[in-house]
Amino acid sequence: MNKQIEIRDLGRLDYKEAWDYQERIFKGILDIKIKNRREKLTVETPNYFLFVEHPHVYTLGKSGDGENLLIKEEKLAEIGATFYKINRGGDITYHGPGQIVGYPIIDLENFFTDIHKYLRFLEEMVILTLAEYDLKAERSQGETGVWLDVGTPFARKICALGVRASRWVTMHGFAFNINTNLGYFDHMNPCGIKGKAVTSLNVELGKKEVSVSGVKEKLLKHFATLFEAEFIEKVSS
């Protein structure tokens, strides 16, 4: 089993470009697994963790309801946003500047074969990261992602999750609001949930801006501990 994970930080990248990039890596890992099985080989599969920041975009999961996007296509152009229907789970999600988007593309057979555990570990990574900022974050029963003040009228979501998996290989991942313009969430029902608020780390801390690199370091630290993984960095991708 290969527990090394290569980090690739893509910077700011158009959603479709990042999606295509994910798909190429995802297919490459699947091809290794299929060849191993067909030819009875034992070639190790690689693992990757992509960081990216997207321009304003709304994405709808394969089981999502298009009615949860509350504006028409012409309005999208006005606010400088795009819209994609994609192949992850979950409903509608917003990505934009000031948000950390993480795409772990890993072979779970290198770690454990339990997709529910995988989702809970992604949530736990964010919960532990927020604890380092003295914020108590939790899961909300029946809803993926990470929330603050669960069970109160002030419940608000700070991190959304949506993944795809095939033959235990994952793609897509999480969107963690750090210095995010929350006004863009007004144009959708976040994750298909009506009447629930969203928030961002800088808002919760009462700061104009939070160090994104500092948050990334904490996320990777907790991911490595939870998955018993070792991160390696690649200078060029």
Beta strands in the chain (DSSP E): 4-12, 48-53, 57-60, 82-85, 92-95, 99-105, 137-140, 143-148, 156-166, 169-177, 197-198, 230-233
Task: Determine whether 191 is an active site residue.
Answer: yes
Collapsed DSSP state (helix, strand, coil) of residue 205: helix
Short-list 197, 149, 201, CA closest to 180: 201
Q: Which of 18, 50, 155, 191 is catalytic?
A: 191
Give phi and psi for 114, each to the nearest 5: -155, 105
Cα separation of 208 and 236, whole Å? 32
Cα separation of 34 and 80, whole Å? 41
Measured N-to-C along each axis, helices 115-131 and 212-227 cross at an angle, to the nearest 10 degrees, of 140
Cα separation of 109 and 30, whole Å? 12
Q: Could you list the active site residues? A: 191
